[in-house]
Chain A
Amino acid sequence: MNKAEAKALIFEVLLGIAPEAELDKLPGNAQLRDELDLDSMDFLDFVAAVHERTGIDIPEAEYGRLATLDDAVAYLAR
């Protein structure tokens, strides 16, 4: 997956959780959970949805590597 595909996938998943979010205006370095007001359940839903679409098994210990949009894109596009 390249970066553009990773970003598109992340946007699609995030919109399912926070339908009102204006993702185009989301700074790449902003904390996703703060910026989109995601609670623990929302973030688990995010990780689970990314897993279901990509097969990537994001371990709990690596949740911190998806903290921002840029981080998450880099993580999925690696």
Chain B
Amino acid sequence: MIDFRMPSLGADMEAGTLVEWRVKPGDRVKRGDVIAVVETQKGAIEVEVFSAGVVSELVVSVGTKLPVGTVMARFDAGAAERPAPAAAPPVVPTPVAPPAVAIPPVAAPPPAAPQVAPLAVLPVTAPAEPLPTAVAGHVPASPAARRRAAERGIALDRLTGSGPGGAVTLADVEAASAEAPTVPPPVPPPVPPTTPGPTRRGGFDPAAMRQAIAAAMSRSKREIPHYYLAQTVEVTAALARLERLNRDRAPPERLLPAALLLRATALALAKTPELNGFWEDGHFRPGDGVHIGWATSLRGGGLIAPAIRDADKRSLDELMAAMRDVVRRARGGGVRSSELTDPTLTVTSLGERGAESVLPIINPPQVAMVGFGRIVTRPWVVDGAIGPRPVITLTLAGDHRASDGHRGGLLLVEIDRLLQEAETL
């Protein structure tokens, strides 16, 4: 029997609220399946399971706030496919022990005292439909549906979702919108004390998000001896490449400079493994690939940095598509738990309206972070003469426990070199 525990989805996370079960007892799951949705300070996250098996018990009920490490469900790893038992033995409430296995592989959280008693018994005949979502603001819905509903003033919790797991789809919203052009404002359902207040917007509570960022960054500043490096990089070749590529493309297929910056960073990082991984229990653990956390700011404040996995193995177009997908889900919902724990290094790109340079704060347990400022035109010496050139300030924050400035400098020099040869990226 395998215990599935509330995962730690970041250095800052202490607890999460179960919003939805996506499985029921008797269901077969395989590694990577989404089994639940958990509300965290960083919004609603789809939680994946890390081993195959058959669900034998759902230990906690929807709406419960659970400290990291609390047993949420039990799986039978060796069970053959079989129907759900007709009657399950009552669940014995067990005190929450420190997690035997940290799931997913991040620093093991401190043992947490259970603040909420586990459910005594769950209905064995779990409904085939999704469990009722009693909690305000937690209706599963696609980002497009959420947006459209907001536009039309339709309350999502009044709709019956036809999507996966009962999620409200765009079509459901359109149908409701056609039936009832003027929907009266819904009576706000009572908000249980464990859920964020009415300020929540776009799937997260800005105040809770701010607390989460503050906690993670405080830990970073307290524990990580940062060193900082900067390099000004000419991007004439990179912009020329983009201009050529984009000229013949329709808008939806166009690339942003960020795709080139990301690709150069990923390729350079693959050659600098000391900066790609995690600081855990006093040791450096290299990443199992180059998984770039793409820092994404959210409307209304806050940011998250979901992983773009194996970024060094993806083409420019694939990276652009991955960035679009990650940004869309970061802002609209549907980020998966592994995407928050996989990143082996975070990249922040301030973009066209950002400042010229950024001195990043490392996102623990990672050991480095790369920053790109805004592209600006500056006097630049080329072949002994000064001319205007587009340049970008590339920065690195490194963890001195894991590397030194020499190694960090090699990363920046390699990113620079690759951007000068942008035709090959």
Q: How far is the CB of A49 from chain B (nearest CB, A)?
A: 8
Find out whether the CB atom of B202 lies under 8 angstroms from the CB atom of A19. yes
Which chain A positions have C-beta within 8 A of B246?
A: 60
Q: How far is the CB of A23 from chain B (nearest CB, A)?
A: 11
Find out whether the CB atom of A15 lies under 8 angstroms from the CB atom of B151. yes
Find out whether the CB atom of B256 lies under 8 angstroms from the CB atom of A41. yes
Task: Kindly list 14 other residue pairs between chains A and B, CB separation below 8 angstroms, not including A20-B299, A39-B351, A60-B246.
Answer: A16-B147, A16-B151, A18-B299, A20-B201, A39-B352, A40-B258, A41-B327, A44-B256, A51-B251, A51-B252, A57-B250, A57-B251, A58-B251, A60-B247
**Main DSSP-derived SS at the B contact region:** helix
Query: In the complex, which range does the number of interface residues on chain B fall in?
Result: 20 to 34
Q: How far is the CB of B323 from chain A (nearest CB, A)?
A: 7
Instruction: Give CA–CA (A69, B250) in the complex, Å.
Output: 22
**Which of A15, A19, A48, A58: most chain B CB closer than 10 A?**
A19
Question: B202 — nearest CB in chain A belongs to which residue?
Answer: A19
Contacts of A32-65 to chain B: CB distance below 8 A: 33-34, 37, 39-41, 44, 47-48, 50-52, 57-60
Which chain A positions have C-beta within 8 A of B300?
A: 20
CB of B113 closer than 8 Å to a CB of A? no
**Which of B150, B254, B299, B324: most chain A CB closer than 10 A?**
B299
Q: Which residues of B contact A (CB under 8 A)?
A: 147, 150-151, 201-202, 243, 246-247, 250-252, 254, 256-258, 297, 299-300, 323-324, 327, 351-353
Which chain A positions have C-beta within 8 A of B254?
A: 44, 48, 60
Find out whether the CB atom of B353 lies under 8 angstroms from the CB atom of A33. yes
Question: B352 — nearest CB in chain A belongs to which residue?
Answer: A40
Of A16, A18, A19, A60, the residue contacting B243 (CB under 8 A) is A60
Query: In the complex, which range does the number of interface residues on chain A fall in?
Result: 20 to 34
Instruction: Give CA–CA (A67, B201) in the complex, Å.
Output: 27
Q: Given the known inter-chain contacts A19-B202, A51-B250, A59-B247, please indicate yes or no for A34 contacting B353, CB distance below 8 A.
A: yes
Q: How far is the CB of B316 from chain A (nearest CB, A)?
A: 15
Instruction: Give CA–CA (A51, B257) in the complex, Å.
Output: 20
Of A41, A47, A50, the residue contacting B324 (CB under 8 A) is A41
Q: List 26 contacting pairs A-B, 8 Å CB cutoff, sorted by A.
A: A15-B147, A16-B147, A16-B151, A18-B299, A19-B147, A20-B299, A20-B300, A33-B353, A39-B351, A39-B352, A40-B257, A41-B256, A41-B324, A41-B327, A44-B254, A47-B251, A48-B250, A48-B251, A48-B252, A48-B254, A50-B251, A51-B250, A52-B252, A58-B251, A59-B247, A60-B254
Question: B350 — nearest CB in chain A belongs to which residue?
Answer: A39
Question: A21 — nearest CB in chain B belongs to which residue?
Answer: B299
Which chain B positions have C-beta within 8 A of A16?
A: 147, 151
Q: How far is the CB of A75 from chain B (nearest CB, A)?
A: 14
